[in-house]
Structure 1
Amino acid sequence: MFNFFEERDHKILSFKDTIQSKIFEPISDLEVEAYTSKEPLSYPERTTGDRVALQPGEKWGDLFDCAWFHFTGSVPSEGCAKKIVLLIDVNGEACVFDDEGNPVRGLTNGSSIYERIHGEPAKKVLQFNDCGKEGQKVDIWVDAGCNDLIGELSKDGTLEQAQIAVCHENIRSLYYDYWILCELSCVLDKNSARYSRIMKVLFDSMNILQTFNDEEIDKARQILAVEVNRKNADPCLTLSAAGNAHIDLAWLWPIRETIRKAARTFSTVLELMDRYPDYVFGSSQPQLYLWVKEAYPKLYDRIKAKVAEKRWELHGGMWVESDVNMPNGESLIRQFLYGKRFWQSEFGMDTEMLWLPDTFGYSAALPQIMKICGVRYFMTQKLAWNSVNKFPHYTFDWEGIDGSTVLTHILPEETYISHAGPRAISKVEDNYAQKNVSDRALLLYGIGDGGGGPGAEHLERLERLKNLQGVPPVKQEFSEEFFKKIDRDDLDYPRWRGELYLEKHQGTYTSQAKNKKYNRFLEVKLRDLELLASIASLYGFEYPQQKIDEIWKEVLLYQFHDVLPGSSIKRVHDESLQRYEIMIDEVEGLTQGLLQDISGNIGASGTENPVMVFNSLSWERDEWVKLGQDWANVNASAMGWKIEEFGKKIPEFAEFKATQLLLENDALKVEFSQDGSIKSVWDKFNEFEAIRKGEKANVLKLYTDNGDAWDIQTEYRCLPVEYFKLENSKAYKDGPCVVLEQNYVYNKSRILQKIILTQGSSRMDFETTVDWHEKHKMLRSEFPVDILAEQATCDIQFGSIKRPTHKNTSWDEAKFEICAHKYVDISQNERGVALLNDCKYGYRVFDNIIDINLLRSPDFPGKDADQGRHTFVYSLYPHKGDHIEGGVIRASYELNMPLTVKSLPDKKQDLASSLSFLTVDNENIVIETVKKAQDSNDIIVRLYEATGSNCRTVLSSDMPVKDAWLVDGLENDLQKIDVQASGIVLDVKPWEIKNIKLNLTKV
Structure 2
Amino acid sequence: MPYEINRLKLHKAKDLLPRIRDSIYEPVSAMKVTAWVTKEPVPYSERNNGTRLELTPGDKWGNLWDCAWFRFEGIVPDAVAGHKAVLLIDINGELCLVDEEGSPKQGLTNINSEFDFSLGLPGKRVVDLGMSAAGEQVDLWADAGCNDLFGKYRSGTLKEADIAICYEEIRQLYYDFEVLLELAEHVAEKSARQERVIQSLYDAALMLEVINEETAQRAREVLAKELSKQGGDPVLTVSAIGHAHIDLAWLWPIRETIRKGARTFSTVLTNMEKYPDYVFGASQPQLYQWMKEHYPKLYDRIKERITEGRWEVQGAMWVEPDTNISGGEALVRQILYGKRFYQQEFGQEVKILWLPDVFGYSASLPQLLRKSGVDYMMTQKLSWNVYNTHPHHSFEWEGIDGSKVLTHLPPEDTYNSPSAPRSLAKIENSYLDRNVSEHALMLFGIGDGGGGPGEEHLERLAREHNLLGLPPVVQEDSLSFFRKLEQEKSRFQTYRGELYLEKHQGTLTTQARNKWYNRKMEKSLRELEFAASLLLAMGENAYPSEELEEIWKETLLYQFHDILPGSSITRVFEESLERYAAMHSRTQQLLAQTYAKAARLAGAGEGQAVVFNSLPWERNEIVAHQGKRYAVKVPPMGFASLAEAKLSTGAGEQSGLRAGERQLENRYLRVTFGQDGSIASLYDKAAGRESIAPGAAANVFTIYHDKGDAWDFPRDYRDAVAGRMKLEESSYSIDGHQVVMEQQYKFGESTLVQRIVLDEEGTTVRFETKADWKEAEKMLRVSFPVQVMTDHVNCEIQFGYLKRPTTRNNMIEFVRDEICAHQYIDLSQPDYGVALLSDSKYGYSAERNVLDINLLRSPSYPDPVADRAEHQFVYAIYPHRGDFIQAEVYRKGYELNTPLTVAESDQGTAGNTASFASLIQVDNPHVMVEAVKKAEDTDDLIIRLYETSGTFAETSVAFGVTGVEIEEVDLMENPLGKAVDRLTFQPFEIKSLRVKLG
Encode CA deviations 1:292-315: one digit per residue, 9 max, x unaligned.
001000100000000000010011
1:659-738 to structure 2, matched below 5 A, reads 659-738=660-739
Contact between 1:806 and 1:846, CA under 8 Å: does it hold in 2?
yes
1:133 corresponding residue in structure 2: 133
Aligned counterparts of 1:927 and 1:824: Cα–Cα separation in 2: 20
Q: How far has the Cα of 1:135 moved from its partner? A: 1.9
Q: How far has the Cα of 1:416 moved from its partner? A: 0.5
Aligned counterparts of 1:112 and 1:215: Cα–Cα separation in 2: 34
Aligned counterparts of 1:702 and 1:649: Cα–Cα separation in 2: 42
Q: How far has the Cα of 1:601 moved from its partner? A: 3.5
Aligned counterparts of 1:712 and 1:627: Cα–Cα separation in 2: 45
Q: 1:824 to 1:111 in 2, by over 3 A?
A: same
Q: How far has the Cα of 1:470 moved from its partner? A: 0.9
Q: Which amino acid aligns with 1:64?
A: W
2:921 corresponding residue in structure 1: 919
1:571 corresponding residue in structure 2: 571
2:872 corresponding residue in structure 1: 871
Encode CA deviations 1:846-893: one digit per residue, 9 max, x unaligned.
122100000000111112011111000000000011111112110000
Matched length: 992
Contact between 1:643 and 1:913, CA under 8 Å: does it hold in 2?
no
Aligned counterparts of 1:194 and 1:41: Cα–Cα separation in 2: 56
Contact between 1:770 and 1:869, CA under 8 Å: does it hold in 2?
yes
1:486 corresponding residue in structure 2: 485
1:591-610 to structure 2, matched below 5 A, reads 591-603=591-603
Encode CA deviations 1:208-238: one digit per residue, 9 max, x unaligned.
0122233322211111111111110111000
Contact between 1:604 and 1:913, CA under 8 Å: does it hold in 2?
no
What is the DSSP-based 3-state SS (H/G/I as helix, E as strand, rest coil) of the residue aligned with 1:249? Answer: coil
What is the DSSP-based 3-state SS (H/G/I as helix, E as strand, rest coil) of the residue aligned with 1:392? Answer: coil
Contact between 2:628 and 2:647, CA under 8 Å: does it hold in 1?
yes
1:585 corresponding residue in structure 2: 585
2:989 corresponding residue in structure 1: 992
Aligned counterparts of 2:784 and 2:669: Cα–Cα separation in 1: 16
Q: How far has the Cα of 1:658 moved from its partner? A: 1.1
Q: How far has the Cα of 1:737 moved from its partner? A: 0.6
2:125 corresponding residue in structure 1: 124
1:11-160 to structure 2, matched below 5 A, reads 11-128=12-129, 130-154=130-154, 156-160=155-159
What is the DSSP-based 3-state SS (H/G/I as helix, E as strand, rest coil) of the residue aligned with 1:71? Answer: strand
1:533-544 to structure 2, matched below 5 A, reads 533-538=532-537, 539-544=539-544
TM value normalised by structure 2? 0.98
Aligned counterparts of 2:987 and 2:173: Cα–Cα separation in 1: 62
What is the DSSP-based 3-state SS (H/G/I as helix, E as strand, rest coil) of the residue aligned with 1:766? Answer: strand
What is the DSSP-based 3-state SS (H/G/I as helix, E as strand, rest coil) of the residue aligned with 1:916? Answer: coil
What is the DSSP-based 3-state SS (H/G/I as helix, E as strand, rest coil) of the residue aligned with 1:107? Answer: strand
Contact between 1:603 and 1:913, CA under 8 Å: does it hold in 2?
no
**Further displaced range: 593-602 or 339-348:** 593-602
Q: Which amino acid aligns with 2:979?
A: I
Unaligned runs of 5+ in 2: none
Aligned counterparts of 1:856 and 1:581: Cα–Cα separation in 2: 22
What is the DSSP-based 3-state SS (H/G/I as helix, E as strand, rest coil) of the residue aligned with 1:550? Answer: helix
Q: 1:905 to 1:938 in 2, by over 3 A?
A: closer
2:622 corresponding residue in structure 1: 624
Contact between 1:950 and 1:988, CA under 8 Å: does it hold in 2?
yes
2:389 corresponding residue in structure 1: 390
Q: How far has the Cα of 1:609 moved from its partner? A: 9.7
1:427-466 to structure 2, matched below 5 A, reads 427-466=426-465
Encode CA deviations 1:342-390: one digit per residue, 9 max, x unaligned.
0000001111100000000000000000011110000000000001101
Q: Which amino acid aligns with 2:613?
A: N
Query: Which of 954, 959, 962 lines up with 1:960 in the alignment?
Result: 962
Q: How far has the Cα of 1:666 moved from its partner? A: 0.9
Aligned counterparts of 1:945 and 1:816: Cα–Cα separation in 2: 28
Q: Which amino acid aligns with 1:930?
A: V
Contact between 2:105 and 2:267, CA under 8 Å: does it hold in 1?
yes
Measured on the aligned residues, the alpha-carbon RMSD in Å equals: 1.5
2:178 corresponding residue in structure 1: 179
Contact between 1:961 and 1:998, CA under 8 Å: does it hold in 2?
no
Aligned counterparts of 1:730 and 1:383: Cα–Cα separation in 2: 49
1:223-238 to structure 2, matched below 5 A, reads 223-238=222-237
Q: Which amino acid aligns with 1:572?
A: V
Contact between 1:820 and 1:842, CA under 8 Å: does it hold in 2?
yes
Contact between 1:632 and 1:650, CA under 8 Å: does it hold in 2?
no
1:201 corresponding residue in structure 2: 200
Q: Which amino acid aligns with 2:365?
A: L
1:786-825 to structure 2, matched below 5 A, reads 786-825=787-826
What is the DSSP-based 3-state SS (H/G/I as helix, E as strand, rest coil) of the residue aligned with 2:44? Answer: coil
Aligned counterparts of 1:414 and 1:569: Cα–Cα separation in 2: 26
2:421 corresponding residue in structure 1: 422
Aligned counterparts of 1:428 and 1:189: Cα–Cα separation in 2: 15
What is the DSSP-based 3-state SS (H/G/I as helix, E as strand, rest coil) of the residue aligned with 1:765? Answer: strand
Q: Which amino acid aligns with 2:942?
A: I
Contact between 1:273 and 1:279, CA under 8 Å: does it hold in 2?
yes
Query: Which of 976, 979, 985 lines up with 1:977 in the alignment?
Result: 979
Contact between 1:609 and 1:647, CA under 8 Å: does it hold in 2?
no
**Further displaced range: 829-838 or 616-625:** 616-625
What is the DSSP-based 3-state SS (H/G/I as helix, E as strand, rest coil) of the residue aligned with 1:928? Answer: strand
Encode CA deviations 1:550-581: one digit per residue, 9 max, x unaligned.
00000000000000000011101110111111
Contact between 2:534 and 2:598, CA under 8 Å: does it hold in 1?
no
1:327 corresponding residue in structure 2: 326
Q: 1:490 to 1:294 in 2, by over 3 A?
A: closer
Q: How far has the Cα of 1:610 moved from its partner? A: 5.5
Q: 1:145 to 1:609 in 2, by over 3 A?
A: closer
Contact between 2:703 and 2:721, CA under 8 Å: does it hold in 1?
no
Q: Which amino acid aligns with 1:468?
A: L
Q: Does 1:615 align with 2:618?
A: no
Encode CA deviations 1:823-847: one digit per residue, 9 max, x unaligned.
0000001000000000000001012
Contact between 2:509 and 2:855, CA under 8 Å: does it hold in 1?
yes
Aligned counterparts of 1:65 and 1:660: Cα–Cα separation in 2: 59
What is the DSSP-based 3-state SS (H/G/I as helix, E as strand, rest coil) of the residue aligned with 1:818? Answer: strand
**Further displaced range: 899-908 or 871-880:** 899-908
Q: How far has the Cα of 1:604 moved from its partner? A: 5.1
Contact between 2:12 and 2:205, CA under 8 Å: does it hold in 1?
no
1:199-598 to structure 2, matched below 5 A, reads 199-488=198-487, 491-538=490-537, 539-598=539-598
Q: How far has the Cα of 1:76 moved from its partner? A: 1.2
Aligned counterparts of 1:876 and 1:29: Cα–Cα separation in 2: 71
Q: Which amino acid aligns with 1:857?
A: S
Contact between 1:642 and 1:914, CA under 8 Å: does it hold in 2?
no
Aligned counterparts of 1:891 and 1:730: Cα–Cα separation in 2: 27
Contact between 1:679 and 1:696, CA under 8 Å: does it hold in 2?
yes
Q: Does 1:775 align with 2:776?
A: yes
Aligned counterparts of 1:628 and 1:845: Cα–Cα separation in 2: 42
Q: How far has the Cα of 1:781 moved from its partner? A: 0.2
Contact between 1:643 and 1:914, CA under 8 Å: does it hold in 2?
no
Q: Does 1:830 align with 2:827?
A: no
Q: Which amino acid aligns with 2:57?
A: P
Aligned counterparts of 1:546 and 1:904: Cα–Cα separation in 2: 25
What is the DSSP-based 3-state SS (H/G/I as helix, E as strand, rest coil) of the residue aligned with 1:738? Answer: strand
Q: How far has the Cα of 1:5 moved from its partner? A: 5.3
Contact between 1:437 and 1:491, CA under 8 Å: does it hold in 2?
no
Aligned counterparts of 1:723 and 1:61: Cα–Cα separation in 2: 46
Q: How far has the Cα of 1:625 moved from its partner? A: 1.7
Q: 1:50 to 1:293 in 2, by over 3 A?
A: same
What is the DSSP-based 3-state SS (H/G/I as helix, E as strand, rest coil) of the residue aligned with 2:721? Answer: coil
Encode CA deviations 1:149-178: one digit per residue, 9 max, x unaligned.
111011x21111100000000001111000
What is the DSSP-based 3-state SS (H/G/I as helix, E as strand, rest coil) of the residue aligned with 2:306? Answer: helix
Q: Which amino acid aligns with 2:421?
A: P
1:981 corresponding residue in structure 2: none
Aligned counterparts of 2:541 and 2:233: Cα–Cα separation in 1: 68
Encode CA deviations 1:569-608: one digit per residue, 9 max, x unaligned.
1101110111111111111111111112122343359xx9
Contact between 2:170 and 2:212, CA under 8 Å: does it hold in 1?
no
1:862 corresponding residue in structure 2: 863
Q: Which amino acid aligns with 1:328?
A: G
Q: How far has the Cα of 1:3 moved from its partner? A: 6.4
Aligned counterparts of 1:723 and 1:975: Cα–Cα separation in 2: 59
Q: Which amino acid aligns with 1:742?
A: Q
